[in-house]
Structure 1
Amino acid sequence: MTQGTYDLVLNRLLDAPADKLFRCWTEADLLKQWFAPKPWTTPEAKLDARPGGASSITMRSPEGQDMPNTGQYLEVVVNRKLVFTDAFTGDWQPRDGQPFMVVAITFEPEGDKTRYVATVRHWTEADKKKHEEMGFQKGWGQCTDQLEALARTL
């Protein structure tokens, strides 16, 4: 994927196989264990990992504030790639309000490890800057560490 002007990218070599990492992204019970940066939690996750399928993931702050995230899968290549957006809420229904991002996650085997690349494409420079200020690198980095640790146990 060519990097665009409003992209934020996390690129890591993870010590876990691609199929296990993919499972952690597409099985709700697994996703709930790693998706939010601790001490945040993920109490709810509903995933229909197919093009046009909906996702609904709720993160909860340590103070109990819920942050719901709804979206739709655009592309699913088993064990290799997931593309999703918050522009739709499933079955190509536009969401209310302004969309924020499109995410492409790729899983490329490198020996017994996986090159994991998360490309987060924003609609505007302001959205990209907002995501950077929210702590994109730190938060997504911590979640990636949690993802890797869980995948290694499968």
Structure 2
Amino acid sequence: MIPPVPDDATTLVLRRVFKATRARVFRAWIEPEALQRWFRPRGLHMTVSRLDTWEGGAFRFDVENGVSITGTYLHVLPPQRLSFTWSDASVQGQETIVTLDFFDLGTSTEVVLTHERLTTQEMRALFSGGWPSLFDTLAQVISGPQDI
């Protein structure tokens, strides 16, 4: 059995500055075509099966390896904040919460990602590696010539 994470370590906070406007970075999180370009494990294809980007709206992403990510939007405040529940096999039937805050730095944007309710060491380790990898892919996509 995997030991639980101490209460003070159930939240993961990551910060990243992207060389794109706040509106462009925010759109990358809420438009299906954009999400499919970057929001997936490296080397795998992901399909946006549902994306209702309003408070109370649901989403479902299906990865070609059989994993489905589902959740509900809790806060949608363009282009400042996006918060949603997260459920997939990695969270062992639990529901975690992801909050993204977007800070305008002129031609760049700082994103602060807060992932809460990571109740095991395994979950925390998985997301500690997964989110930075996704951020790397997002940075490549939004710095490219195609508009998001």
- TM bin, normalised by shorter chain, reads 0.7 to 0.9
**Stretches of structure 2 lacking an aligned partner (at least 5 in a row):** 1-7
Shift of 1:33: 0.6
2:135 to 144, 149, 152: 144
Residue-pair matches, total: 134
| Aligned equivalent of 2:97 | 102
Shift of 1:100: 3.1
Render the CA deviation track for 1:16-66: whole Å, top value 9, x for unaligned: 111111111101111011001311221334211110000011123xxxx21
- Is 2:35–2:48's contact at 8 Å kept on the other side of the alignment? no
TM-score by length of 2: 0.81
Give RMSD over aligned pairs: 1.9
TM-score by length of 1: 0.78
| Aligned equivalent of 2:3 | none
Other structure's SS at 1:66 match? coil
Please give the alpha-carbon distance, in whole angstroms, between the structure 1 residues aligned to 2:31 and 2:142.
Answer: 12
Matches within 5 A, 1:1-154: 5-60=9-64, 65-86=65-86, 98-122=93-117, 124=119, 126=120, 129-134=121-126, 136-153=127-144, 154=147
Shift of 1:130: 2.1
What is the percent sequence identity of the aligned residues? 28
Whichever residue aligns with residue 133 of structure 2, its letter is: Q
Shift of 1:152: 2.5
User: CA 1:132–1:86 in 2, change beyond 3 Å: closer, same or farther?
Assistant: closer
